[in-house]
Amino acid sequence: MDELSDIRRRRLALGIPVRELARAVGRSVATISRIERGRIRPSYELAQGLFGYLEAREGEATPDLEARDVMNTQVVTLEASHTLGAAASLMEQKGYSQFPVVDGGKVTGSLSDVALLRALADPRGRRERVRSIQEPAYPQVGEEFPADLLASLLGRYPAVLIVERGEIRGIVTKMDLIRGLRLTTLRRRAAPGSPG
């Protein structure tokens, strides 16, 4: 069984008022408070009820998110035929540090600010084409790809492309995933019938 000292931490992480937990297990607020502070030990059945309720709520707070739930649909791509000067201008204008590279509508690679800086350090670099310095393409997954698996991909790559039938539908960077997970958790916490 889980540690009794975890009850308060888990309850607060879920944003559950002590009154709600007490009502769910049929005990008083004072009893739950004493259990959380370690002043009394609950019966085995009561402890099971407390942990069962918290586990059920934790399941609601971390739903099965998919890539479509966290992706940014505003995907800006670079044409492989663009000059590096044009790529630098677009990077500056959009404020992005990396872009997918396409050629004839197909993803052929990616370009990061680091690779662009290295190339522009050469005086002839401005006239070079993106295709000559592009880096490997980002991984591609479908819209139904589990969002929790995106975290491991983003540990190795700067972005993941969301592609359906050969068409780019979105992109996920670390910040997109963080934002998507944070907003989903907040929406779930404000679910029906749970006053702050």
Selected residue with higher pLDDT from 60 and 35: 35
> Domains of the chain: which residue ranges?
6-61, 67-183
Residue 62: the pLDDT is 52
6-61 CATH fold = 434 Repressor (Amino-terminal Domain) (1.10.260)
Distances (CA, A) of 92 to 17, 97, 108, 109: 47, 9, 22, 20
pLDDT digits (tens, 9 = 90+) for 147-187: 878 888 898 899 999 999 889 999 999 888 888 776 655 44
Q: Indicate if the pLDDT at residue 77 is higher than 90.
A: yes
Q: What is the pLDDT of residue 2?
A: 56
pLDDT value for 189: 41
State residue 26 phi and psi, 5-degree precision.
Answer: 70, 35
pLDDT of residue 194 exceeding 80: no
| Superfamily per CATH, domain 67-183 | CBS-domain (3.10.580.10)
Please tell me the predicted confidence (pLDDT) of residue 122. 86
pLDDT of residue 1: 46
Higher pLDDT, 122 or 133: 133
